[in-house]
């Protein structure tokens, strides 16, 4: 009977699927991130056939070696897979999969939750009201900015970036400009979107900049001090992709000194830590990496990771096999 290790408690859907296939599923008894050493200890000598892992698990050559030669697949419950050394996995013939598609709508929704929260100062206003500071309606109280009719700059027009663009155009009559390594002329025609040949060209024109690229060597600190200065002083930056894409210390400086008006972040450079000074700022909205965290979507991600494992253990190519970009 194939044996599968699950590195942390996840929604039942995936576990049920694996068990229905007759697989033995061992879930880590600790409901917390396992440090690399602990993960190695949990895997070593256990002869697992597959591992269902999370974006908080570091999967490198040492961990793959600890899992052993019979382990065919590490199935990440995330669309991103920058926590996994794909070269090390390929060298050991271990398949790596992710969970794209099922979280697209949820992450796009969260992107708008953040965008609107920042522009309408929702969290700041909530703090203000709870603190008993509301003394009655006032014409100049907590003025924010509209999203409707503005220019939304999408950096990375993949599944999630395209869905954000769709909502921006259909829901808010916004103009969409985008940068991606690949131009998508069909998308441009359908949504009236305008392609910018570089991030530097996009930034000065956008009222909202939303980041949707994977974390790669080429995207680390893509939003650095210099690029933040290219944004309009009235603009907002939203990041629901990966924290290290934004130089967080530079962002704190930019928010403090009025280089940009506001920001909203679901991801951080050194999770779970925040850059010094970030939490003290009023003009930033912070959520703890929950953009895909709805009951529906986390169940679907759990089930899709299980599908990937089931396919791999049946000798098929899993539906969401990933390769080094």
Q: For residues 155 and 69, what is the distance between their CA atoms, to the nearest angstrom?
A: 40
The dihedral sign for the CA sequence 82, 88, 90, 92: negative
Classified as helix, coil or strand, 54 is: coil
| DSSP-derived secondary structure letter, 206 | -
Closer Cβ to ligand GLV, 73 or 260, answer by number: 73
Active site residue 271: yes
- Considering the rule CB under 6 A, would residue 11 count as an interface residue with ligand GLV? no
Active site residue 92: no
State the catalytic residue, choosing from 8, 212, 242, 298.
Answer: 242
> CA 91 → CA 53, 82, 306, distances in Å?
19, 17, 23
CA nearest neighbour of 150 among 222, 251, 232, 229:
232
- Considering the rule CB under 6 A, would residue 55 count as an interface residue with ligand GLV? yes
Closer Cβ to ligand GLV, 10 or 78, answer by number: 78
- Considering the rule CB under 6 A, would residue 193 count as an interface residue with ligand GLV? no
- Considering the rule CB under 6 A, would residue 214 count as an interface residue with ligand GLV? no
Closer Cβ to ligand GLV, 79 or 94, answer by number: 79
Contact 92, 64 (CB under 8 A): yes
Q: What is 235-260 written as a DSSP string? A: -EEEE-S-GGGB-HHHHHHHHHTTSS
Residues 68-87 that bind ligand GLV (CB under 6 A): 78-80
Residues 278-297 that bind ligand GLV (CB under 6 A): 292
Burial 2-27 (b: 16+ CB within 10 A, else e): bebbbbbebbebbbebbeebebebee
- Considering the rule CB under 6 A, would residue 25 count as an interface residue with ligand GLV? no
State the catalytic residue, choosing from 19, 109, 188, 271.
Answer: 271
Closer Cβ to ligand GLV, 55 or 174, answer by number: 55
**C-beta of 266: minimal distance to ligand GLV in Å?**
8
Active site residue 16: no
Active site residues: 242, 271, 289
| Residue ranges in contact with ligand GLV by CB under 6 A | 55, 78-80, 103, 292
């Amino acid at each position: 009977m194939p044996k599968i290790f699950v590195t942390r408690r996840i929604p039942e859907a995936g576990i049920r699927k694996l068990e229905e296939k007759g697989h033995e599923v061992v879930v880590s008894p600790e409901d917390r991130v396992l440090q690399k050493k602990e993960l190695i200890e949990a895997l070593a000598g256990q002869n697992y056939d597959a591992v269902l892992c999370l974006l908080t698990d570091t999967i490198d050559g040492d961990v793959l070696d600890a899992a052993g030669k019979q382990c065919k697949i590490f199935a990440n419950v995330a669309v991103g897979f920058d926590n996994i050394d794909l070269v090390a996995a390929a060298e050991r013939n271990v398949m790596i999969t992710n969970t794209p598609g099922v979280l697209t709508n949820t992450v796009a929704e969260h992107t708008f939750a953040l965008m609107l929260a920042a522009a309408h100062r929702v969290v700041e206003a909530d703090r203000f009201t709870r603190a008993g500071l509301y003394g009655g309606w006032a014409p100049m109280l907590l003025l924010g900015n509209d999203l409707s009719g503005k220019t939304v700059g999408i950096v990375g027009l993949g599944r999630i970036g395209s869905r954000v663009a769709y909502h921006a155009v259909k829901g808010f009559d916004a103009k969409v400009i985008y940068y991606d390594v690949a131009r998508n002329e069909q998308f441009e025609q359908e949504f009236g979107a305008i392609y910018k040949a570089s991030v530097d060209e996009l930034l000065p024109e956008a009222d909202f900049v939303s980041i949707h690229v994977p974390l790669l060597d080429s995207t680390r600190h893509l939003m650095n001090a210099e690029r933040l200065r290219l944004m309009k002083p009235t603009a907002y930056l939203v990041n629901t992709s990966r924290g290290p894409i934004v130089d967080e210390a530079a962002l704190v400086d930019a928010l403090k000194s009025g280089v940009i008006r506001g920001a909203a972040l679901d991801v951080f450079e050194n999770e779970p830590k925040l850059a010094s000074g970030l939490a003290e700022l009023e003009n930033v909205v912070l959520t703890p990496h929950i953009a895909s965290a709805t009951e529906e979507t986390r169940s679907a991600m759990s089930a899709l990771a299980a599908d990937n494992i089931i396919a791999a253990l049946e000798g098929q190519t899993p539906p969401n096999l990933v390769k080094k970009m």
